[in-house]
Structure formats: C-alpha cells, structure tokens
Amino acid sequence: MDFSPPPYGLFSPDIDLMVNLPGLGKLREKHPAYIARAEKAQAAARKFAIKHILPRSLETDKKCSQDPAYFDWDLWHAANREKFTIACLPEKMGGLGWSALANAAAVEEFSSACMGSTANILFNTFGVLGAMVECKTGIVLSMIKKMLQAQQAGAPLFYSWAITEPGAGTDMEDARGMEAMRPSCHAQKVQGGYSLSGVKCFITNGSLAHYVIVNMPVDPEHPLESMATFHVPTDAPGFSVGRVERKCGQKASQTAELFFDRVFVPDADVWAQPGKGFDHTREILSITRGFVGLCGMGIARGALERCIRYSADKQTPQGRLIDQDWVRFALADMIKDLHMVRAAAYNFAMALDAFHVWKLFDSPAVKGAACLPDKLLLSDSLQALAKSAPASEAGSIFKKKIVTGKVLDEFVRHGSALKVAGTDLAMKTSSRVLDIVGLEGMSREFGMEKSFRDAKVTQIYEGSNQANLLDLFHEEIGRLL
C-alpha cells in the first residue's frame, strides 16, 4: 500500500495548539509568553515524535516482545539531548522551564506516537513531584542538581514510584480501600531510621530506577493511620529488582517487581512521616491522574490519525475507504470526542499553572531566587543553607500556603474525571478504528493494533477507572450527603 497521508495531526509539521483550542486566544492577549512557550513545546515535541519516536515505535515494540528488559537507549539519549528529561526544571537552572500547559502539549504529541516511549521520557517527573509535596528546600535543590548534572553528562537518572504490591493495588490510593486492605509490605522503626520489607509490583521504571519513592505502613493492621513515604536509593543493601513483566501494551516502558529485604532508610529520607503517607500519595495523584487522562487522549488521537491515514489510501470497490459516508460519520464522531476531552485536559493543565505546584514558580520568592547568579543557584553553599532546618521548614510552609487541602480536593476531583474520560476515550477510539479498517488494517505495520494494546493499561494505573469514579462521586456529591 502506497501511503500518501493527509497533512493532519502528527503527520503535519505545523503546530495547531491555537487551532484546536481557540479559546487560548484571549489568554494570549494578556500572557503572550505563556502561550508562546506552550506552542514552542508542541513544535519541539512534534518534531521529535516525527523524527525519532514514530519511525522506531513498532520495531521497539517487537524487540520488547522478545525481551521485556530491552530498552531503547538511543531514543532516550536523543530526548535527553533535547532536555525533555528535565523539561519541568526552571530555565535559569538549566531546564526548559515548561509550564503545565507546555508539558501537556508535549505529552499529547509524544503519546500519539508511542505511549511506552512517552513514559520513558517524561514519567521521571515522579521524583520531582514527590519532592515538591513536602517542598523541603534541601531535598528539592539536591534533586534538581542531580538531574541537571546527569543530563549534562548524558547519563540516565531514573526515579520510580512504588505503590502497588501483590495484595493491594488501587487500595493504596483510596482511603476507604486502605482501611480494609492487608498490606504485605511494612516499615519497622529502628535506630536512626526505618527498616523496609516486602514486595512491590508493576512498578514503572522499577528496573531502571536509581531512586524509588516507596509507600509502606509502619503498622500493617492500620495502614491508613501509619502509611509513610520513603526515598530509597536502589544501591541500598537489601534492595533488588525481580521480574521485568511481559506486557500486552506499552512494552517500551519497563514494569518490574521490587524486593525490599530489611532495607534501611535513614530518618532524613523519610519524605512523609507515618500517618502522612496517604496524603503524600494523594497530592501526587492530584497531578498525575489528569496527565494519565491526557496520555489516553494522545493514544486515541494517534489511533484516529493512523486510521485517517489508512482509510485515505485504502481502495475498495466503492472507491477510497475514507470517501464512504459511514466512515466519515465514524471519524467525525471520534474527532468530536477527541476535541471535548482535549478541552478538559488543557483546562486541567492551565489550572495546575494557576493554582497547584506550578504556581510556585511564579511566586515572588522563586522569581527572586532566579535573579541569583547561575553558579550560586546550585552551589554547595546554597545547598548547605537550603538543608538547614529553618530554610527547609520555610519552604514547606510556603508551599502549603499555596497548595492547600481544599486545592488538592479540587484537583483530585477534576483529575479523576479527566483520567477516566481520557483513558476510556483511548479504549473506545482504538477499538472503533479497528472496526473501520478491518483485518488488513489490524496488521501490525499500520500501528492501530498497538494503540489498542497500549490503551488498556491506562484504565488501570494511577488507580483503576472505577476507583477514580468513586473518588469523583465522593468529592462532588458524597461530601454533601
């Protein structure tokens, strides 16, 4: 089949942020730099997706089917050279300074090309998000410095977030579920810190991670009241990686078992004290659930655009497949759904910039710090000052005044809604396009069956969609009953 795809979506080199979201025009009048940065992020991400991700996605999927531990390091290094791996860090410190809106534009482009590769490039933000919850200045600056040094050296630095364990998945993300769960992992208080024991499973980046953010209860009989969050280097004695999972979809992204055999964690690496671990988890989820919904929307878009590409070239006895009315109605219906979820996704991203942790970067304190000389920002002297008790506590207090409990409840509500809408759209669209293209179009070479395989797990991670619906009900209606 000779492909001559219409210049649409990922197959078009032209950015279309303002075309798809014309309401941003009013915002651009007041904040032109904000919109310009998002357009720049979309342009860079689309160019990278076309040049690097799309041409190798099917071959990488095949290699990972043969060996789940295969990792496309060439792609990762290409992304690292573009600073996509540190895009969220301030420009003054060496990152790209992307807002949540700019991140959203990039995530949509990357995930429409290959969701597994997107996870390898961008899911590393778990580390920064985990540190920003408590916002201890010493921890945050130390993490930023490590990330920048690794990027400049072309060396990988991976973080993973270990919640799920064999006997508890979504339970670990829901207060009502956690009250009834019986965790298999636990943290025991010892002199100078904690001893961690147990197994975590289905952990993204687990086999690659240099550091793991892990949630474990101190009292397994009362997990909600005793859950804590720990920062664990993977070279710690007693830590090991088990099986790298064979998966149906998102094969480019490694998922692994993690074993903790009396792993010692000093008190300084306890990021959330016992009893505060669930709150720490919820704050990360208040951001990541929405972005998983955005990833689902990107998968749906990728499946749809591949279908348009195929049907525009496929000849049938009645002419081109795309010229048949039933196909046009189906494509238009999917485009309609895509536009609706996209509007919700970008609304969520802009809300993160306005009210959540990204708001910190617009605060006078952070802007004032950005005026410091580059060398001083990440100097040992400033690091030492940031680690002092007064400075560390000041950072935490300052952040909690901006990101209040009420703000978190709102973002859990909106993030859960978006997560369900985006990932259900991924499954619905990737299934529907296969109905249009038939058996021939399901062939691996056209990429649509891969979109279908990649979509399913998005309905499960960051809390199953059913758990997210319960969260949405509780935050929207349940509190009023």
Backbone φ/ψ region at 158: left (φ over 0), alpha (ψ -120 to 50), beta: beta
448: which 2 tokens? 């649509």
DSSP class of 85: G
Can you give the pLDDT at residue 5?
65
Can you give the pLDDT at residue 3?
46
Q: Over its length of 481 residues, how does the chain's per-residue pLDDT go in tens digits?
A: 444 567 888 888 788 999 999 999 999 999 999 999 999 999 999 999 999 999 999 999 999 999 999 999 999 999 999 999 999 888 888 899 999 999 999 999 999 999 999 999 988 877 888 888 888 888 888 888 899 999 999 999 999 999 999 887 777 788 888 877 888 899 999 999 999 999 999 999 999 999 999 999 999 999 999 999 999 999 999 999 999 999 999 999 999 999 999 999 999 999 999 999 999 999 999 999 999 999 999 999 999 999 999 999 999 998 999 999 999 999 999 999 999 999 999 999 999 999 998 888 777 766 666 666 767 767 777 777 777 878 778 888 888 888 898 999 999 999 999 999 999 999 999 999 999 999 998 998 999 999 999 999 999 988 899 999 999 999 899 888 8
Q: Which residues contact 109 (CB under 8 A, 6 or more apart)?
A: 10, 42, 45, 46, 48, 49, 298
141/386 Cα distance (integer angstroms): 8
The DSSP line for 383-405 is HHHHHSHHHHHHHHHHHHHHS-H
CB 139 within 8 A of CB 155: no
What's the CATH number for 9-148+280-480? 1.20.140.10
Residue 402 CB coordination number (10 Å) = 15
- Could you tell me the residue ranges of all domains in the chain? 9-148+280-480, 159-275
Bridge partner list, 211: 159, 233
Question: Which CATH architecture is the domain 159-275 placed in?
Answer: Beta Barrel (2.40)
Any idea what the Cα angle at residue 405 is, between residues 205 and 370, rounded to 5°?
A: 65
Can you give the pLDDT at residue 374?
65
Q: HSE on the CB side for 478, CA within 13 Å?
A: 10
